[in-house]
Amino acid sequence: MDVVVSTRLEECSRSFAATLIHNDFIRVNRAAVKPSHRLKTGDVVEGEIPPPKPVDCAPEPISLDFLYQDSALAVVNKPAGMVVHPAPGNYTGTLVNALLFHCPDLSGIGGDIRPGIVHRLDKGTSGVMVIAKNGSALDALVRQFKERSVRKTYLAVVHGNVKADSGEMRLPIGRHPTQRKKMSTSSRAGRPAETYWRVVERFGGFTLLRLDLKTGRTHQIRVHCAAMHHPVVGDPDYGGRHASRISADASTGVRHLVQNVERQMLHAHKLQIIHPVTGERMRFTAPVPADMQALMDGLRPG
C-alpha cells in the first residue's frame, strides 16, 4: 500500500505515505489498513492529503552563501560557528532558520514545511552542504548517501608532520565508552569507518590534508586524525587545542597563531551528487574560508 501511494502521488516519500495510511488519511475500500496491506485488483484507494504544516521554527534573515539552488535542492557553503538544526541551547540562528527565510518554495516533507537536512556538518566545521526542498528529492539524496555514491572531500590542517604522502584509516567508530558526547575508535559498538587521505602541503610541524570519506560517521575525520596522532588543529574535543601538541621548535609567532585558532580547521571542500530530478552529476566547491587560509599563510616559511 505505501509503495503504491508513494509512486502515484507527486513528491510523496514512502515514509510519508506510510504516515498518511497509518493516520487514516488514505483508505482502501473505505476501510483503514496498514501501510503493509497488499492491494488486489478492483480495490479502491481514496483519501485526502492534509496540507503541510509549518514547523515550530521561525524563519530568520540570516545571510547564507548559496552555491546552487533550484526547485528540488539548495547547496550552501555553511560558515563555521553555525549549528545546522535547532536543538536545546541552539533554537535560533541555525541553518534551518536561515533556509526557512531564504527558500519560500519549500514543499511538504513528512507533512511539514521544512528543509530536508540530508547530512550534517559540526558547528565548528565549514563548507558544502546539500539540502532537499521536497520529499522526493530528500528520498533520492538519502539513498545516494546510504549507497555511498556521494563523493565528499575535506581539507584539514593537522598537528605534526605526516610522513607518508597518502594512506587510509579503517578503524570503526562508535560512542566513547565514558564521554558520551564524544566518539571513539575504542567503542564496543563501533561501526565501520573509512577515511582516505593525501598530503597537500607540509608546513613544518603541521600538515594540510585532503580527506575523502567512504563512510559518514559522526566526527569521523576528527576521530581518525586523532587516532593517527595528528589531531585537527583547534579541535576542542580530540586533542587539537592542546598547547603540548605544538612542536618545541615552533617560533613564538607560529605558537601564538595556532593557540589563537577558535575552531577545528576542518572544511568540507567539495561535494559530488546526482541531481535527484535530472540525473545529472553535479560537483560543488566551497572556497577555503578566511580563517583557515590565514592559518596556512602564517604557517608557510617566510
Active site residues: 122
For the chain, the helix, strand and coil percentages under 3-state DSSP, each to the nearest 5: 20, 30, 50
Amino acid letter, residue 291: D
Joined together, the cell numbers standing for residue 302 give: 617566510
3-state secondary structure 93-130: CCHHHHHHHHCCCCCEECCEECCEECCCCCCCCEEEEE
Q: Dihedral (C-alpha) 296, 298, 301, 302: value to the nearest 10 degrees? A: 140
CB 198 within 8 A of CB 209: yes
Range list of H helices, 191-280: 220-227, 252-259
C-alpha cell at 98: 536561515
Residue with cell 618545541: 248
Cα(241)–Cα(50) distance, rounded to whole angstroms? 51
Which residue in the block uniquely carries the three cell numbers 510523496?
12
